[in-house]
């Protein structure tokens, strides 16, 4: 299952609105016979990819899948049928499928005599590659990760609004890796005007990656002619609204599942105030400014008892910076 989990990570950002799933098939003797991950929409699911590689060696074998095999016929046939046709006798999956159409695959397999068990590495899968998709299925909204870089005293720019560079090179490279797995990057018109943000995925040499997430610019303000966000290196959506729910509804209709919010304090405050931030990734740099804009603008808090409270998922070093990952406490934020 750990191998299947790693396989699912390799396709994150390429499968939406389908989930990024990994699968490993063992032969009857317990040797790896096939591996696979979900292909872009319309392509085979992870189980089918692994079964193709396994061929006849799958008969009498075991399949490990990060998500319960689907039982419905969408753009592709059900994976339960493929597993049964291949002669797999045992299936282990991590997370149950909450989708009203795709769920129930485990029962279909059991009814056909397959030994099925779920829950293996469920927490790791649910908080990793399937986090955004599970949220999307359960709420109908894209999952929003607010990413920002700030100084030790919480500033995202100096008093003169300069902000390059607060975070270090290791953090900036990591952010491009995070962007590469997102379906969309969201900023406000203010960020475009102030920073001429490009919102692309690039390598250490500045070369554009083959796949680029959708660029989304939110707000009613103007965008300068020649702004980099309007070039042809990636698709750009201009969302002429200031309402987070309107933005997320438009993105959901496009099949966007995983959103990276990179806007400034005003846009971040609007999303937090609306309860539409589902995760925070904060890069804290060992730097002090003493003045300048804070990371978060007005978010509906006037007294300490109204504070938005979060649970820290992890704290890690990113070069000289500290990366803090946090999710809302139950009933808070975007949950």
Which one-letter DSSP state was computed for residue 92? E
Q: Which of 9, 47, 53, 332 is catalytic?
A: 47
Which residues have a Cβ under 8 Å from the Cβ of 120 and sit 6 or more positions away? 1, 64, 92, 93, 94
CA distances from 327 to 103, 177, 180, 244, 266 (A): 26, 20, 21, 18, 20
**What is the dihedral sign for C-alpha 52, 57, 60, 63?**
negative
Rg (alpha carbons) of the chain, rounded to whole number: 22
Q: Please give the Cα distance from 100 to 161 (Å, whole number).
A: 48
Say how far residue 28 (Cα) sits from the centre of its chain.
35
**What is the dihedral sign for C-alpha 125, 12, 326, 321?**
positive
CA distances from 151 to 288, 294, 326 (A): 6, 9, 17
- Let me know if 47 is a catalytic residue: yes
Residue 88 · residue 25 · CB < 8 Å: yes
Residue 184 · residue 215 · CB < 8 Å: yes
Angle value at C-alpha 252, between 64 and 332, nearest 5 degrees:
80
Cis peptide before 17 (omega within 30 of 0): yes
SS3 call for 164: coil
User: At which residue do the structure tokens 């990734």 appear?
Assistant: 281
Would you name the residues annotated as active-site residues? 47
């Amino acid at each position: 299952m750990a191998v299947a989990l790693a396989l699912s990570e390799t396709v994150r950002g390429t499968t939406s609105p389908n989930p990024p799933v990994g699968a490993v098939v063992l032969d009857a003797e317990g040797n790896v016979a096939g591996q696979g991950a979900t292909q872009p929409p319309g392509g085979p699911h992870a189980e089918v990819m692994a079964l193709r590689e396994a061929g006849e060696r799958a008969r009498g074998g075991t399949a490990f899948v990060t998500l319960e095999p689907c039982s419905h016929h969408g753009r592709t046939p059900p994976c339960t049928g493929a597993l049964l046709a291949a002669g797999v006798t045992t299936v282990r999956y991590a997370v149950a499928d909450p989708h009203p159409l795709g769920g129930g695959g485990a029962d279909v397999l059991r009814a056909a005599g397959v030994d099925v068990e779920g829950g293996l590495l469920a927490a790791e899968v649910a908080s990793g590659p399937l986090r955004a998709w599970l949220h999307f299925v359960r709420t109908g909204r894209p999952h929003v990760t607010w990413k920002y870089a700030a100084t030790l005293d919480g500033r995202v720019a100096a008093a003169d609004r300069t902000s390059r560079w607060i975070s270090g090179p290791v953090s900036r490279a990591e952010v491009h890796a995070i962007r590469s797995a997102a379906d969309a990057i969201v900023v406000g018109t203010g960020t475009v005007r102030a920073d001429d943000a490009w919102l692309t995925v690039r390598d250490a040499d500045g070369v554009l990656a083959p796949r680029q997430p959708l660029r989304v610019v939110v707000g009613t303000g103007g965008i300068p002619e020649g702004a980099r966000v309007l070039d042809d290196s990636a698709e750009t959506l201009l969302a002429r609204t200031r309402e987070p729910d309107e933005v997320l509804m438009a993105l959901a209709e496009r099949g966007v599942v995983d959103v990276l919010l990179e806007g400034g304090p005003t846009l971040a405050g609007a999303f937090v105030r609306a309860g539409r931030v589902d995760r925070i990734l904060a890069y804290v740099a060992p730097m002090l400014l003493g003045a300048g804009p804070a990371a978060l603008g007005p978010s509906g808090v006037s007294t300490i008892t109204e504070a938005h409270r979060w649970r820290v998922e992890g704290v890690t070093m990113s070069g000289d910076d500290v990366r803090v990952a946090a999710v809302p406490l139950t009933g808070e934020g975007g949950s």
